[in-house]
Every structure is written in structure tokens, then in C-alpha cells.
């Protein structure tokens, strides 16, 4: 499986990951090499084998919905790049 | 012996008898950091003032008769576990200035025992790597040979413990990130069973594979730290509600009747002959100590484990790392045209190359048209690998393998070839795939460079692993050697 620079650009867009134009070719080579090495997976016979959903046998873990103390908004906002009126400040979503 | 080279249990005894104080021990450890960390770079942050204050509190506790096994003993915490009020960077530009408003569950537990934290350990960015060269700040150097890597991603934890910059450390292990650097630095490193230790407050990389564990100078210390951190936590719904035994009770150096299997697939192509020889001798030693050794165990799907891991781990990582959007915390690109541009640039300048590769690999493996061929296929292979281990453990109590196929490699040797870097974890990552526990113990040296032996068991068999590790440690002196840094 070979990934072209164009495909790398598309994948980066799906992940909303900016990539330098200069790095596209290098990523394309490296990712292609990695994917080639992964072809071994296709040779494993998995007929009738269920996919793993959890490494240890646990079912959904539920708890009662109870009110408990939480962090103060000032503590939560302390790491915010930008805040305003006790909220995270974001860029315009609609333009 | 200088104070900074004491083990936890030795230091505990001296503290109990009043022969040393935690303040003296802490000052000796901080002095050692001053002496060698310019060369090793084990730390992202040294928390000197905090450590001295905690040491004073610990001394008061001890005087008052409230003395737990870890009280007053200097520890390094890998920099992906949240420490309230102390930066937690994941060795990433993305979190360079992030100060958590809460403690990870394991940090709470150590605090309850009277922790003295000397600092936060350097690592591969977001724990993605096998050499600690992917730290956005600087690489960490192996104390046995400063031109070589310490392994990774918990490289800062293992170098600090090997060189006396901390008496013990907490690392995290997603594909070998405790065991592989422990092997490279000649210290003891345990990855507990998935669910044994709470991941609450551990910065998520691959949630179905991540597990926190101890890095120590000997096996007794490993048991003491596991005692402190194991247990159910309602805040981590994947932590398992099972009683925690006293792991020090399993430190019985007697292997009679124990069945050990050696899986042939772990002596892989590309394995260095010196490493193979050391590990075969170590297994021979276990036989001399009374264990029955079966050299012919086969785990035929092992060669597919690397591909399986490097599909599943990046897929989970891409979902986990989607939270870094430059809005809530962390790095935020200022110069941007709009919301999407800001998000893309935040990740472009906040993440290093390996993190980007894994985000793209995961995105590709989960994208329409490739999901079945990659992600779903990998999860089926995961089932097969887990079953193979279960079958092997029906016949053997433990499996023994090399921790890594090579001795520590040179800094810079593999950074431009991600596939070569991934191969450094070939012996450790199947263990995370199956969720089973694994420990690496010092097993010898090749030309002065450390080799680790890995011992694996079925889920929640940490006691058996510790028993085997303890027996081997008592019969050899590899773990007592200290690097000459």
C-alpha cells in the first residue's frame, strides 16, 4: 500500500492536522513503508474470530448519577489560552 | 554506599531506626541530580522546593509513628501523570505550560503514604517512542553509555532510578514503555495487568493498552510500590474491582514445581546474538533454581503483533489527541484565519513528527474504506494473540523472553526510520495487546551494556512474576551493579 503526498494531505485534513508542505513527501514515504510492513496482518486467518472489544472481560460499568464536588471554574479556566466571562473564548464558528 | 543509592526498603529501615532523615535522603538525591542530570537529562522539571517541604512533613510523620513503606522516599513521576500545581508536559510543546488542577489517582495514593517528589521524568512525546529521543525538549542519555538511548518512552524514569536521581519512579507502559527502558538501564520495571492500576489522571495515549507501573532498583521495591498503587478506582471504569494482595508476601525465592515456557518466536530475526545468549543463560539459571523449563513453546501469531499494535495504538491515539484543539488548555496558535485554521496550526506547531505520524496512521486505519482491512482486522488478530497467551498459560505458569532484541542503540541511529524504532518494542508490545502483566529484570550485560529478561504471566498473576523475579535476583548480582556516571 503506497500513500501519495496527496493522500497524506487528505488524511491530515481529516484529522485537522496542519502539515508543512516540505514534510508531505517524507511522511508519504515513511507511512507507506509502515503500511507495507503491516501487510502481514492480511495473511492471518481470522475467519470466525470476533474482534476484541476490551482487553479484560468487563461489561459496561454504571454508577448512580449523584451530585459530587467538582473543580471550581477558575481552576478549570486557569490553563485556558483565552477566556472571557468565566468561559473558554473560541473563534467564530459561523462566519 | 551513598544515600542516593539506597533501595526503598533499605531507606525505610534506616528511617525507621532514626539513622537517617527523609530530609538528608532527599538532599542527597537532589545533590545527585545536580551532579549528573546535566549529562543524563532524566528530568523535565526538578521540584526541589516541593521535595524539601514534603521531606520535612515526612520526617514529622515518621517521628509521630505514622510510617508507611514509601514515606519520605524520593520518587520521580513520569511527566504524563497529573500532579496538582506542578507542570505536566508529556514532553510536548502542546502541554509545555500545562499545570493540572488535580492529582492522578496514583499520585494521590503516593501522597497518602507521604511522598517526596523530586521531579517529573522526561519521556517520548505523549509516550510515543522507544528511545526518549521524541521528547520535544531534549533526549535523555543512558547512564551506562551516554551516547546511547535509555529506551523509552519512560526513559527519564529508568535513567533516574539507575543513576541515583530518584529511589524509585512511576512509569507508564503502552507497548513496552516501562519494561524496554528498564531493560536498557538495568533496573526492574513492571507493567501490571490492564485494570490493576487506575489510569485516572494519566494523560491518555491508547486507552485499551496504557497501564501505570513501578520502576525500581530491586524486586522487593517493585512489590512495595505495586502495593501502594494497585486497586480499583471508580473514576477509571476500566480498573478492575479485585482485592489487592500484599505483594511482598510473594517474594519467596523458590521455583520448585514452577513451569516456565520459552516462546521460540521471541528469539526473532535481527536479535543480537549477545542478547540471545544472556537470556538463554538466565533461563538456564531459572532451571537450576528448580523450575521446569519448556524450551519449545510456540505463539505462532507473534510476528503479526507489531502490525496489530501499530494499528490499534495509533487509532486510539488519534481519538485521544483530538482534544488538543487550542481552546481548553495547552498550546494555541494565535496567527490563524479562522477556527479550523487555528486548530490545524495548533496541532502543526504543538505536536512533533512521531505524534503526527501516529495521528495520521490512526486516521487512515479508521477511515472509510480502510477500517475493515486495518482496524477491524487488527482487533481480530488481537483476539488470536490473547487466546494464544491463554493457551500457553494453561501449560506454563510463566513465559520468559528477552525484553528487547538488542542492547541500547546509539542516539540518532533510528530517529529517521520509524519502522526500525517500532521494532525496538517487538518483544514487549504483545503483552499490552493481551492485557497481561510483564516484568523486566536485569539479566546481564553485553560489552558493558544492559540486557533485560522479561517474565510474563496470565492476568493478575503479578505475585508469580515477582516470585520468579525475586528468585533470579537473589541468585545473581546483575541488579546490584550501578552505572559509573
pLDDT tens readout for residues B174-205:
999 999 999 999 999 999 999 999 999 999 99
For residue A11, pLDDT beyond 80 = yes
> For residue B41, what pLDDT is reported?
98
Partners of B434 on chain A (C-beta within 8 Å) are 55
Identify the bridge partners of residue B117 per DSSP, sorted by sequence position.
B75
For residue B244, pLDDT beyond 90 = yes
> For residue A63, what pLDDT is reported?
85
Closest CA–CA distance from residue B151 to any residue of chain A (Å): 21
For residue A48, pLDDT beyond 80 = yes
B135 classed as catalytic: no
Q: What is the CATH number of domain A1-46?
A: 1.10.20.60
CA distance B465 to B196: 14
Taken in order of first residue, the domains within chain B and their CATH numbers are 3-254+469-480 (3.90.1300.10), 304-377 (no CATH)
pLDDT averaged over every residue in chain B: 97
For residue A58, pLDDT beyond 80 = no
- The helix (run of H) or strand (run of E) holding residue A28 is helix A21-37
> For residue A62, what pLDDT is reported?
87
Per-domain residue ranges of chain A: 1-46
> For residue A55, what pLDDT is reported?
80
**Cβ-defined contact of B434 to A55 (cutoff 8 Å):** yes
Tens digits of per-residue pLDDT, B50-81?
999 999 999 999 999 999 999 999 999 999 99
Tell me the mean pLDDT in the region B444-457.
98
Q: What is the ipTM of this complex?
A: 0.95
**Cβ-defined contact of B367 to A31 (cutoff 8 Å):** no
> For residue B95, what pLDDT is reported?
98
Per the residue annotation, which of B78, B109, B191, B458 is the catalytic one?
A: B78
CB of A16 within 8 Å of a chain B CB? The answer is yes
Contacts of B45 (CB under 8 A, 6+ apart): B79, B86, B87, B89, B119, B120
Where does the pLDDT of residue A61 fall: very low under 50, low under 70, confident under 90, or very high at 90 and above? confident
For residue B332, pLDDT beyond 80 = yes
**Cβ-defined contact of B327 to A80 (cutoff 8 Å):** yes
> For residue B101, what pLDDT is reported?
97
Partners of B310 on chain A (C-beta within 8 Å) are 34, 38
Of B446, B483, B439, nearest to B216 (Cα)?
Answer: B439
Amino acid at each position: 500500500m503506497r500513500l501519495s503526498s496527496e493522500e497524506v494531505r487528505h488524511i491530515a485534513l481529516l484529522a485537522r492536522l496542519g502539515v508543512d508542505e516540505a514534510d508531505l513527501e517524507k511522511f508519504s514515504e515513511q507511512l507507506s513503508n509502515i503500511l507495507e510492513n503491516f501487510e502481514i496482518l492480511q495473511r492471518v486467518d481470522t475467519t470466525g474470530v470476533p474482534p476484541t472489544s476490551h482487553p479484560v472481560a468487563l461489561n459496561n460499568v454504571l454508577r448512580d448519577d449523584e451530585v459530587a464536588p467538582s473543580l471550581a471554574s477558575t481552576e478549570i479556566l486557569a490553563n485556558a489560552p483565552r477566556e472571557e466571562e468565566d468561559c473558554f473564548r473560541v473563534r467564530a464558528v459561523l462566519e | 554506599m551513598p544515600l542516593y543509592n539506597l533501595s526503598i526498603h533499605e531507606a525505610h529501615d534506616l528511617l525507621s531506626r532514626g539513622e537517617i532523615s527523609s530530609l538528608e535522603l532527599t538532599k542527597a538525591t537532589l545533590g545527585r541530580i545536580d551532579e549528573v542530570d546535566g549529562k543524563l537529562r532524566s528530568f523535565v522539571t526538578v521540584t526541589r522546593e516541593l521535595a524539601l517541604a514534603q521531606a520535612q512533613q515526612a520526617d514529622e510523620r515518621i517521628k509521630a509513628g505514622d510510617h508507611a513503606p514509601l514515606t519520605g522516599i524520593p520518587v520521580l513521576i513520569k511527566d504524563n501523570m497529573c500532579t496538582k500545581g506542578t507542570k505536566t508536559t508529556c514532553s510536548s510543546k502542546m502541554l509545555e505550560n500545562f499545570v493540572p488542577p488535580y492529582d492522578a489517582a496514583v499520585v494521590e495514593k503516593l501522597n497518602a503514604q507521604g511522598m517526596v517528589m523530586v521531579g517529573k521524568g522526561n519521556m517520548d512525546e505523549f509516550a510515543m517512542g522507544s528511545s526518549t529521543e521524541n521528547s520535544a525538549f531534549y533526549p535523555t542519555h543512558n547512564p551506562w553509555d551516554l551516547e546511547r538511548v535509555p529506551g523509552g518512552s519512560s526513559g527519564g524514569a529508568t535513567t533516574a532510578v539507575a543513576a541515583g536521581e530518584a529511589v524509585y519512579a512511576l512509569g507508564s507502559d503502552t507497548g513496552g514503555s516501562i519494561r524496554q527502558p528498564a531493560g536498557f538501564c538495568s533496573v526492574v520495571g513492571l507493567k501490571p495487568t490492564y485494570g490493576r492500576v487506575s489510569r485516572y489522571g494519566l494523560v491518555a495515549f491508547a486507552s485499551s493498552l496504557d497501564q501505570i507501573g513501578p520502576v525500581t532498583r530491586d524486586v522487593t521495591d517493585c512489590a512495595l510500590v505495586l502495593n501502594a498503587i494497585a486497586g480499583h478506582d471508580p473514576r477509571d471504569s476500566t480498573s478492575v474491582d479485585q482485592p489487592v494482595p500484599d505483594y511482598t508476601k510473594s517474594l519467596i525465592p523458590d521455583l520448585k514445581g514452577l513451569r516456565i515456557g520459552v516462546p521460540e518466536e521471541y528469539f526473532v530475526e535481527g536479535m543480537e546474538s549477545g542478547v540471545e545468549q544472556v537470556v538463554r543463560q538466565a533461563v538456564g539459571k531459572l532451571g537450576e533454581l528448580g523450575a521446569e523449563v519448556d524450551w519449545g513453546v510456540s505463539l505462532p501469531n507473534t510476528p503479526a503483533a507489531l502490525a496489530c499494535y501499530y494499528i490499534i495504538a495509533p487509532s486510539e491515539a488519534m481519538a485521544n489527541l483530538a482534544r488538543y484543539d487550542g481552546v481548553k488548555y495547552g498550546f494555541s496558535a494565535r496567527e490563524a484565519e479562522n477556527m479550523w485554521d487555528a486548530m490545524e496550526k495548533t496541532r502543526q506547531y504543538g505536536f512533533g513528527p512521531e505524534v503526527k505520524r501516529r495521528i495520521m496512521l490512526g486516521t487512515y486505519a479508521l477511515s472509510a474504506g480502510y477500517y475493515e482491512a486495518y482496524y477491524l482486522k487488527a482487533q481480530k488478530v488481537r483476539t488470536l494473540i490473547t487466546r494464544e497467551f491463554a493457551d500457553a498459560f494453561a501449560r506454563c505458569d510463566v513465559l520468559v523472553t528477552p525484553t528487547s532484541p538488542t542492547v541500547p542503540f546509539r542516539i540518532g541511529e533510528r530517529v529517521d526510520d520509524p519502522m526500525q524504532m517500532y521494532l525496538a518494542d517487538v518483544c514487549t508490545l504483545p503483552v499490552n495487546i493481551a492485557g497481561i502483566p510483564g516484568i523486566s529484570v536485569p539479566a546481564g550485560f553485553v560489552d558493558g551494556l544492559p540486557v533485560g529478561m522479561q517474565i510474563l504471566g496470565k492476568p493478575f498473576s503479578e505475585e508469580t512474576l515477582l516470585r520468579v523475579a525475586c528468585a533470579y535476583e537473589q541468585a545473581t548480582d546483575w541488579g546490584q551493579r550501578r552505572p559509573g556516571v
